[in-house]
Amino acid sequence: EVYNDYFFNESAYDYHDGGYVPLEVHEAPASPLNIPTILQPDKETENEVWMTVHAQPGETQILPGAKTKTWGYNQSLLGQTIVFHSGKTYHVTLKNSLPELTTFHWHGLDVPGPFIDGGCHAPVYPGESKEITFTVNQEASTTWLHAHPCPLTGWDVWHGLAAMAYVKDDHEASLPLPRNYGVDDIPVVLQDRRFHEDNQWDYDGDYDPDGTAGPTAMLNGTVNPTFDVTTQKLRLRFLDGSNRREWRLHLSDDLVMTQIAGDGGLLPEPVKMTKLMITCAERAEVILDFKDYKAGDKVTLYSDDCPILTFNIKEFAADDTELPAQLNEINYPEPNKDDLVHQVVLSGTDEEVGINGKKFGMMRIDDRQELGKSEYWDITNTNDCCGGMLHPYHMHGGSFQIVSRNGEAPYPNEMGLKDTVSVNPGETVRIKMRFNFEGVFMYHCHIIEHEDGGMMAQMQVYTQENPYKKYDLMPMHVL
């Protein structure tokens, strides 16, 4: 079966918003898709790795003419790709050379909160470094790193503070999947920007409380990217790294995308589709098979009707490997039926956004859950103004499994582990969530201006031994 559907409620797509900024093809010439280099460790033993992640200001040649002032991790824009191996321990030096405080949030990594998780309670001040240590123990997946200072996440990410962080494991390595980085396994960070005079960005000028957007698609920091296809099969790891934009992806000739993984790892089974919507912070790994093309052909990736990436087909060797019918087995623990169901009500638009009628309070704990227990969370989007809008709901502290949407089965491509789920207006999405580490963790809408605007809350994961452990929570960051 090939799905031909974005699944979500069309009336809530971002293009129905009054402030919607449609994508337009920029006049800049085509250039090769930037493939970030892989971050090299400072030092490595069999089970331990030391590395440095350096948030730095810089200038990047994105368009012809003036360079754009940008921020990045270990490079001037976005970041080097970080590769973790499940089972190893990482000592990461977080270095901040920016003119203001930032934080280093591991979106999708299962690590303790709030200081290692790197949400808003874990600032690194300008000119400072700090070392964190954690062990990666989770499924192979495409996670990411981004800044998360409250309420300036939108500003930081817009300037470029976002990087891919892959987790590898033995199970994924045993499957016949493309994994030659930069050749047949490529990261695709989907973002949009508006370029102003001298090719500069103006976050404050373009700011929209319902999500800042620009008309120019920028993939891995490249405008009008092309990619040379030299293998029959290509694995694309999409990350919606936009502040606001939903990407409705489809290919010329309606070429089928076979989704193999979502946020938290491989799907139970591959899902074939001609349309894929990805909302803020979600990841989707898809395989494209170019068997019906030959050298010289072109295949175009679109979002809505705007071309965003051109694949130039080169000579390739025939590849008849078949995807296994089963990629993964998800055994998420069942919650106890008598336990309370956590409630998260996402409401409002613009400045009125909140969760359960409240704006985020950095010193307030809004919910609690015991370490290691799986519990239900009901996420409801009451937003119905003007057709309403989708809120991509994200939890720190691990991955969840989607149980149902308004009591119905989840979409076929969301059967794997997730950490972000988009919720339609009027819908309640039930998830099962288990935390594997103690700490204080945030949960929020990942339209970044909604998160900065207060559609965010936080919870404490506790143990019986110390149920009210105190954390040194920061008040709102003031610059």
Q: Which of 244, 248, 250, 396 binds Cu ion (CB under 5 A)?
A: 396
418 part of the interface to ligand C2O, by CB under 6 A = no
Residue 146 or 418: the one with the smaller Cβ distance to ligand C2O is 146
Beta-sheet strands, E only, within 87-161: 89-96, 105-107, 129-135, 141-146
> Which listed option, Cu ion, ligand C2O, none, makes contact with residue 148 (CB within 5 to 8 Å by class)?
ligand C2O
Q: Which of 54, 396, 430, 450 binds ligand C2O (CB under 6 A)?
A: 396
Q: Which of 107, 235, 342, 418 binds Cu ion (CB under 5 A)?
A: 107
> Which listed option, ligand C2O, Cu ion, none, makes contact with residue 418 (CB within 5 to 8 Å by class)?
none
Least separation in angstroms between CB 450 and Cu ion: 3
Least separation in angstroms between CB 343 and Cu ion: 17
> Which listed option, ligand C2O, Cu ion, none, makes contact with residue 95 (CB within 5 to 8 Å by class)?
none
353 part of the interface to ligand C2O, by CB under 6 A = no
In angstroms, the CA 67 to CA 50 distance is 32
Strand pairing category for 233-240 and 342-347: unpaired
447 part of the interface to Cu ion, by CB under 5 A = yes
Enumerate residues 6+ apart whose C-beta is below 8 A from 258: 270, 271, 272, 273, 286, 287, 288, 289, 323
Least separation in angstroms between CB 237 and Cu ion: 17
> Which listed option, Cu ion, ligand C2O, none, makes contact with residue 391 (CB within 5 to 8 Å by class)?
Cu ion
Q: Which of 121, 248, 342, 391 binds Cu ion (CB under 5 A)?
A: 391
107 part of the interface to ligand C2O, by CB under 6 A = yes
Phi and psi (nearest 5°) for 14? -60, -20
Q: How many residues bind Cu ion (CB under 5 A)?
A: 6
CB closest to Cu ion, residue no: 445
- Diameter of the chain by CA atoms? 65
Closest C-alpha among 2, 60, 69, 7 to residue 31: 60
In angstroms, the CA 400 to CA 332 distance is 8
Residue 95 or 391: the one with the smaller Cβ distance to Cu ion is 391
Contact 420, 429 (CB under 8 A): no
105 part of the interface to ligand C2O, by CB under 6 A = yes
Q: Of 121-150, which residues contact ligand C2O (CB under 6 A)?
A: 146, 148
The three-state secondary structure class of 132 is: strand
Q: Which amino acid is at 325?
A: A
Residue 146 or 405: the one with the smaller Cβ distance to ligand C2O is 146
Q: Of 263-282, which residues contact ligand C2O (CB under 6 A)?
A: 281
Distances (CA, A) of 387 to 128, 221, 383, 391, 392: 46, 33, 8, 13, 16
In angstroms and rounded to an integer, the radius of gyration of the C-alpha atoms of the chain is 21
Phi and psi (nearest 5°) for 15? -75, -5
